[in-house]
Chain A
Amino acid sequence: MIWAKEETLPRAEIEKIQLEKLRQTVAYIYEKVEPYRKKMDAAKVKPEDIRTLEDLRKLPFTYKSDFKDNYPFGLFAVDKKELVRYHASSGTTGKPTVVGYTRHDLDVWLNNVARIACMGGATADDVAQISFGYGTFTGALGLHGGLEKIGASVIPMSSGNTNKQIMFIQDMGVTLLVATPSYALHLGEQIRERGIDPKKDLRMHIGLFGGEGMTEPMRDEMHRVWGDQFICTQNYGMSELCGPGVSGECTELCGMHVNEDWFIPEIIDPETEEVLPPGEHGELVVTCLGKEALPLVRYRTGDLTKLMYEPCKCGRTTCRMENLSGRADDMLVIRGVNVFPTQIEEVLFKIEEIGPHYEILVERKNRLDVMTISVELIDDRLLDSYASLSKLEQRIKSALKAQLGLATQIKLVGPNSLQRFEGKAKRVTDLRKDGL
């Protein structure tokens, strides 16, 4: 099923909608949001200079750092009393990236998620278990609201507690799973270990995955674990843009359809910042259209992909994004949570007993991400007893947990044993191959 007629318009009509909304959006931010006005003035561009979609290129980029510099409300365009919801995601340092929604924004957002759920094959008959962590992240409540819109029954399970997850899947006849693909694989294997055959014994037939990329080997593995009846699609979004609902795979599995009447995607060369022609690979830049609370123009997502404009067999005419192939920056996605090494650094620098150097190792064990951070012990007082060393480890772990919302492993090493770098340090080793 196709949720909205805007998904199937001829290109000329999609572009007409985009241009009209773009001009409104640019006039709106120039009037309402001071940091945008300042940037546009500096770039000598006025709202009336935007006459064609090509003119989008005249506008300055917006960066994640703009959220930090204007924390918490500086980029908001409406009075705080107009807001009906806040969400937040990882910032590059201690403060999160906070986003807000008016009632209209929520409605647009959840309708966009409803489109994505339909792309992945969901209908009103589905019983959907949301196994994303709830809380300030947009993933859980986004899919939750979108699936409710199409009339599916939603179980707000949240993450963790595998036994309870399995009990609900069995007892409630769950047909649709919302999770990170790695957690879905973990859960599927746990189900098999209990002697349950998902294809024969369960009603599960749809997986809507997000929070991290799903590679093709992961999708194959998903079928092996859950059975070939399991339709696995992934979708894309980030809290700054709204949350999930920016784009999603249809069941033809040939890229993620962008909801183009609400988002204009561009691909740029992250180094030169030049816009690249369709089909070229580079950093995704997104302009949100018609957002009231937190309009966002030319946002540098940091995600690397390419865009395909040929109409799809599914009937949709909206352009498609290829599977993300990586990041333009050093952001990591750990168990669906975005992690910036700078966040880790900030925590470690405050702990006096360890040196300033560190290394991050990311592996996937038993399907789940494990992040190990090596730090150099420099304070000899801790050698009085094992207890003092363990206490230090615990202290680092809980400080990181508070900052990242994630459990980490700490490895204490001797001084000078970590590699020193001249110039740009390479502190992260990611051993996850093809997501498996």
Chain B
Amino acid sequence: MKQISVFVENQPGSLMRVTSALNEAKVNIRAAASFDTPEFGILRLVVDQPVKAKEYLTSKGFVVRVQDVIGAELKDEKGNLNQMLKILAEGNISIGYIYSFVIRENRAPVMVFHSDDNEKARGVLKEAGILLVDDEEL
């Protein structure tokens, strides 16, 4: 699955400027995460059309990076996130960051994460029977 990362400054309205640009481009946001540092932030988004999103945002003067991340579907049961993280830990895979879908329209929740070895992570999760989500399903 693809994620877009957008460079944002720490000031009022900077996240909103990204989301409203995506609205203009009719790109739908499925998941969002941002972490703050004193000076700047990286806004990470999963959208339904990452290529179009990058093109449009770049034309509006944003710095945008498209990256490979993993989307793993969680059955809506207790302990499932823990279960998934345990599989990754046992595979000796370290997770850079993790966030979850904001919109899923009655389907099971999806966790988005980036690790030091995405290929291996996909392998161990599939082996454990965890459903991975593709861009097409967004």
Residues of A whose CB lies within 8 Å of any CB of B are 377-386, 389, 411-417
B8 and A414 contact, CB distance less than 8 A: yes
The answer, among A384, A412, A414, A415, for a CB contact under 8 Å with B67, is: A384
Q: Is B13 at the interface (CB under 8 A from chain A)?
A: no
Residues on A with C-beta less than 8 A from B61 are: 414-417
A418 CA / B8 CA spacing, docked (Å): 14
The answer, among A379, A411, A414, A417, for a CB contact under 8 Å with B39, is: A411
Distance to closest chain A CB from B7 (angstroms): 6
Of B6, B7, B9, B67, which is in contact with the most chain A CB atoms at under 10 Å from its CB?
B7
Distance to closest chain A CB from B43 (angstroms): 9
A383 CA / B62 CA spacing, docked (Å): 12
Task: Give the number of residue pairs across the A-B interface with Cβ within 8 Å.
Answer: 48
A379 and B96 contact, CB distance less than 8 A: no
A416 CA / B9 CA spacing, docked (Å): 13
Residues on A with C-beta less than 8 A from B7 are: 377, 380, 382-383, 412, 414
Residues on B with C-beta less than 8 A from A417 are: 9, 61
Interfacial residues of chain B within 3-23, with CB under 8 A of chain A in the complex: 5-9
A381 CA / B6 CA spacing, docked (Å): 11
Q: Given A414-B61, A415-B63, does the pair A385, B9 have CB atoms closer than 8 Å?
A: no
Residue of B nearest to A412 (CB): B40
Residues on B with C-beta less than 8 A from A414 are: 7-9, 61-63
| A–B pairs, 13, beta carbons within 8 Å | A378-B63, A380-B5, A380-B63, A383-B42, A383-B63, A383-B67, A386-B35, A389-B40, A412-B7, A413-B40, A414-B8, A415-B61, A415-B62
Q: Given A384-B5, A386-B35, does the pair A379, B63 have CB atoms closer than 8 Å?
A: yes
Residues on A with C-beta less than 8 A from B40 are: 389, 412-413
Of B37, B40, B63, which is in contact with the most chain A CB atoms at under 10 Å from its CB?
B63
Residues on B with C-beta less than 8 A from A382 are: 7, 65
Residues on B with C-beta less than 8 A from A416 are: 61
The answer, among B8, B9, B37, B65, for a CB contact under 8 Å with A386, is: B37
Interface size on B, residues (CB 8 A): 17
The answer, among A379, A381, A383, A413, for a CB contact under 8 Å with B9, is: A413
Q: Given A413-B9, A417-B9, does the pair A380, B65 have CB atoms closer than 8 Å?
A: yes
A308 CA / B7 CA spacing, docked (Å): 56
Residue of A nearest to B97 (CB): A385
Interfacial residues of chain B within 66-112, with CB under 8 A of chain A in the complex: 67, 96
Distance to closest chain A CB from B55 (angstroms): 12
Residue of B nearest to A416 (CB): B61
A383 and B35 contact, CB distance less than 8 A: no
Residues on A with C-beta less than 8 A from B67 are: 383-384
Residues on A with C-beta less than 8 A from B63 are: 377-380, 383, 414-415
Residue of B nearest to A380 (CB): B65
Distance to closest chain A CB from B8 (angstroms): 7
Residues on B with C-beta less than 8 A from A384 are: 5, 65, 67
B42 and A380 contact, CB distance less than 8 A: no
A63 CA / B51 CA spacing, docked (Å): 54
Q: Is B46 at the interface (CB under 8 A from chain A)?
A: no
Residue of A nearest to B4 (CB): A383
